[in-house]
Structures are given as structure tokens and as C-alpha cells.
Amino acid sequence: MSMFSRFAMVMFLVVAATAATNDFEVVEHLNKLNKPSMKSIKSPDGDIIDCVHISNQAAFDHPSLKNHKIQMRPNYHPEGMNFDNMKVSSETQETINQLWHLNGKCAKGTIPVRRTKKEDVLRASSIKKYGKKKSVSSVAQPTSVDLDLINQSGHQHAIAYVEGEFYGAKATMNVWDPQIQQSNEFSLSQIWLLGGSFSEDLNSIEAGWQVSPDLYGDNNTRFFTYWTSDAYQATGCYNLLCSGFIQINNEIALGASISPISKYHGSQYDISILIWKDPEQGNWWMQFGKGNVLGYWPASLFSYLTESASMIQWGGEVVNSASDGQHTTTQMGSGHFPEEGFGKSSYFRNVQIVDGSNSLRAPKDIDTFTEQPNCYDVQTGKNDGWGSYIYYGGPGRNPNCP
């Protein structure tokens, strides 16, 4: 055998061994995420929803939660709750569902978990980074003066925000299916509850809807959550893709598709989200719609958020990869600017915060921020029907946003 042949054989064996190791690591990771189920439901969009016993969920793999006793209900709800039903914002009322509901439901005592597939993990740059945001640039930094540095991160936002001492936030947002230019970009609309500085110690709790081809393998609009206690470095993840969030609800699956979706100049479908801190236990609870208490982030996961949030943000975020030297055409929200208004633009309505007395109230001194208003913009307002509201979004690349 020639030296070249021996070298080729060695390289082949190295590549084969590396592939086998990587494959083993992927399977091992899938076994950690996909817990044994009591029942599995095939969703029309191709998802598989596993009904996992509540005590077997991935949350309890977290070192600080090994002996955690599940809190099956919050001790307190915020006072003054005025939850809108999940409905069309018009004269008719139609419920927003998740697609998997068409083919079954999970029994009480279990939670619905979107099954992670091998191809989901392989789309990530590494197993370690699967299910995670990439950096602190995922948060709008309205107090920063270095917009050039922010724009280089590729993440762009159009948000309204308040600063102070907060114990929760709430809003009703309409749901869209923004177009994504390429698979490594995403578009989301959410509530951020932040604590700490915009550096390595940032704490964040987030919830809303998103379109993310890299994460889910399609362009469906999905309900999601996120958390981190160290600025997206090592802690936290989307949905239930790591240990942390404890789910108690058997009806809503984190990461599952939402249906139906708002139509331009047509019916508007929206969802309501409330996140608040239990004054007794200190855990951060989340409610989806009217009566769907989903679960909680234990206070032990955080540093700054063990006390309170120092900033609340409502709005949208996209990734602008600028791969062809131009701004992305990935849309935010409906893909239309705020000034187009109801039925055309994306919105948050009945925007509220939870104060130190555990009461919901309209926020004071709402500010706005966007890195490039010609690409994505934001406006705020107030009226009797919607209370404090926000219109936001945009098309991305256009004649004024090259």
C-alpha cells in the first residue's frame, strides 16, 4: 500500500470515528430531552407531542432542582387581572389553538412536550448550542450609545420599554407568520423581563411567538419561552430544551405551532401572556390566555431576578445576517410598519406591569427603541378599549432600508 493510500485510509478512519462519536453524542442528548411518555400524539404539522408524567420532565435534571417539590398552583395572582380571552379582535370570538390539539390531548398529571428529533439537533452549530440564543445581542439595549456595535451583532429590535422595579408583565399580542429570508434568521415577538446589566450577568425571562427555521425545521409560527441567568452564555434555553422551567399544564405545548394566524386586512388573532413573581415562594409564573397557568421558573435559577425585574420590554426581534451585503428581507411582526394600524400592523394591547403590591397597572413613562427605524419601527399609544398599546414591525429591506 502506497503512503498516499495509507494516509487516505487513516483519514477515512478518523472521519468515521468522529462521525460515530458525534452520532453517539446526539443520541445521548436526545435521550436526555425526550423523556419516556405515557402517550404520543402526531400533529398535522409533523410534530410529535409526548405526554410526559409531570414528575419526569427535563426541569428536574437541573442540579438545583433535584429535590424540588413541584408547586402545583401559584400562591397569589396579581390583583386587578383583566385577561382577554384568546380571540379575534373584532365582533366574533374564535379560539386560537395549537395544531396538535386536532389529534388528541394529554391527560391530567402529564405535560405535553414537543419531541426533539435528530435533525433538529444537527441543524445547530453544536449540541451545546442547540436550543440557545447566541449572545446578549438578543436583547435590545436602549441605553447603549454605540449603535454601530449593536448593528454588527445582526440582531435588530423594535420595542417599547419601561425601567424601574417590576414583579411581572402582561400583554395581548396578535399572531402573524412573518417571512424569513434564510434559515439561519428568525423573527419573534415577545415580552422580556430583565434584571442585571447588559453584560455577562444579565437575567432574562421571555415569552411570545416566533418563526425560526433553524430551531424547528419549518416556517410555522410557534409559542415559545426562553430564560437565561448569564446573558445567554451557559444557562437557559428555548422552551423545555434544557432543565429549568417547570410545567404543570397538560394543554399547552411549548414550541408547538399556533393556529389560526392573523391576516393582512382580515381577521386578527391574538394571545395573552402574563408573567409574574409569586410574592410568597419567589418563583416566576406564566399564564397563557385565560386560565392556562403553564408553570414557573424557580427563583433559584436566577441572581437579579430573585428580587425583581429592572426593565420590561415588549416588541419584536429579527436576525439580519446581511449575507448578500444587503439588509435582510426577513419581516418583523406582520411585515408592515406601525403607522398602517389595526388589521395591517402587529400590536401589543392592554400592556401592563405588576408593581410591588402585586397589582396589575398600566406602565408609566414608556419609551421606544429601534436600531434602524427605516427597517423596523415602533409606536405607542393609549385609548379606552386597549389601554396602553404598541404597534411595531416592518418589512426589513426596502428602498429606505437597503
Domain range list for the chain: 1-33, 37-393
Q: What is the pLDDT of residues 14-71, one digit of tens each?
A: 444 344 457 889 999 999 999 999 999 999 999 999 999 999 999 999 888 888 999 9
- What's the confidence (pLDDT) of residue 33? 93
Among candidate residues 28, 206, 339, 371, the one labeled active-site is 206
Other CB atoms closer than 10 Å to residue 214's CB: what's the count? 17
Full-model pTM: 0.91
What pLDDT is attached to residue 66? Answer: 85
Q: Does residue 379 come out as left (phi exceeding 0), alpha (psi in the -120 to 50 range) or beta?
A: beta
Spatial separation of the C-alpha atoms in residues 60 and 139, rounded to whole Å: 27
Average pLDDT over residues 334-346: 98
> In terms of Cα–Cα distance, which of 379, 386, 26, 352 is closest to 167?
352
pLDDT at 90 over 90: no
pLDDT score of 97: 87
Q: Is 206 marked active-site?
A: yes
pLDDT of residue 84: 45
Q: What is the pLDDT of residues 147-179, one digit of tens each?
A: 555 556 689 999 999 999 999 999 999 999 999
pLDDT tens profile 226-266: 999 999 999 999 999 999 999 999 999 999 999 999 999 99
Sheet holding 309-319, edge to edge: 237-238, 222-228, 203-211, 187-195, 309-319, 155-166, 367-370
Cα distance between residue 235 and residue 228, in whole Å: 5
- Quote the pLDDT of residue 71: 94
Q: Categorize the per-residue pLDDT at 91 as very low, low, confident or very high, splitting at 50, 70 and 90.
A: very low
Q: Residues 165, 185, 317, 339: which is the catalytic one?
A: 317
pLDDT in the model for residue 1: 61
Q: Rounded to a whole number, what is the distance in angstroms from the first to the last CA of the chain?
A: 58
Q: 272 with 171: CB under 8 angstroms? A: yes
Q: What is the mean pLDDT of the segment spanning 346-370? A: 97
> pLDDT tens across 97-122, in order?
899 999 999 999 999 999 999 999 99
Separation CA 145–CA 81 (nearest Å): 37
94 is known as an active-site residue? no
157 beta partners: 317
